[in-house]
Amino acid sequence: MKNALNELWQAFASNAPRLLIAAVIFLIFYIIGSLLRRFFKRGVIKNLNNSIVATFSGEVLFWLSLIIGSLVAARALGFTNIAGSILAGAGISAIIFGFAFKDILENFLAGFIIAVQKPFKVGDIIEVSSYKGPVRALELRSTLMRLADGRDIWIPNSFIVKGILTNYTRDGLLRHEFIIGIDMDNDVDKARNIILDYIDTVSDVLKNPAPNVLVDEITGSGVNIKILFWIFQKTSVKSDPEARGESIKSHVMRGTKDMLLANGFGLLTSVIIEQKNKDANELHP
């Protein structure tokens, strides 16, 4: 037993310089990869219109540095033919790894497609597979989103590429709408003018596209009026643009109700509320 330990110690001592050199080499490549990732996330991101590309590129360069560092470190340990062995067995390895890491490779390639096509940027509000929220980051295998209730959720990149993606803030324009009911004997045209005059005073509502007020439905108890208006939905990594939009909508709804009541209009007890996103080209409801 003692002889075995002595032999093990002598083998370690004789290879210690190589192990030290290999560790230093790997550490150097790790530092280089970390610096590249940080540079792309913080430095390049300021000069790119789409920070998704910068973030994804930084992640790719980081892991590429680790792979190269591992190969160089292995060569320093004496595995001089490791690169050739890897290339020689590339065909069989590709099949084995293809089955073993199918999902990982699929999500990585999907992330690359997203980075190239740029269907969204950090801060955009998107909806994928019934999950809706602002984008926080594009990672190697998934996209990080923040839901309205504060939960962080990672959506596999392949889900985004294969599924239906809705971007609510690609051009910054978002249309809100809600319906409010007035009594049957109230003057609809007067109500429309009062609502439009009030909305015109709300600074966060855009003048172009212009807001509109339409008769949505006539029921046995009154007239349902639909109010439509546009806002510029600012996108930000730190703030929540969706919460800002809902706040503006709530402000307009409260003001509309108060203005109608102040002018003697009777409101129906049931009020239908809904919100729809429209493309910027659809400027008229």
* pLDDT tens digits, 62-121: 778 888 888 877 777 776 665 555 555 555 555 555 555 677 778 888 888 888 888 888
The whole-number pLDDT of residue 220 equals 83
Going by C-beta distance under 8 Å and a sequence separation of 6 or more, which residues neighbour residue 110? 156, 157, 158, 160, 161, 162
For residue 224, pLDDT over 90 is answered with yes
For residue 275, pLDDT over 50 is answered with no
Q: What are phi and psi of 282, to 5 degrees?
A: -90, 75
Please give the Cα distance from 55 to 40 (Å, whole number).
6
- Please, how many CA atoms are within 13 Å of residue 58, restricted to the half-sphere of its CB? 20
Q: Which CATH number fits domain 119-167: 2.30.30.60, 3.40.50.300, 3.50.50.60, 3.20.20.80?
A: 2.30.30.60
Domain ranges within the chain, ordered by starting residue:
2-88, 119-167, 173-274
* pLDDT tens digits, 40-67: 766 555 554 556 666 777 777 777 888 8
Max Cα separation, the chain?
A: 105
Please give the average per-residue pLDDT across 192-206, as a whole number. 94
pLDDT > 90 fraction of the chain, expressed in percent and rounded: 28
Q: Which of 27-31, 125-129, 258-262, 267-271 has the lowest mean pLDDT?
A: 267-271
For residue 202, pLDDT over 90 is answered with yes
For residue 276, pLDDT over 70 is answered with no
CATH architecture for the domain at 173-274 = 2-Layer Sandwich (3.30)
Mean pLDDT, the chain, whole residue set: 78
First to last CA, the chain: 87
Please give the average per-residue pLDDT across 131-149, as a whole number. 87
Question: To the nearest 5 percent, what fractions of the chain are helix, strand and coil?
Answer: 50, 20, 30
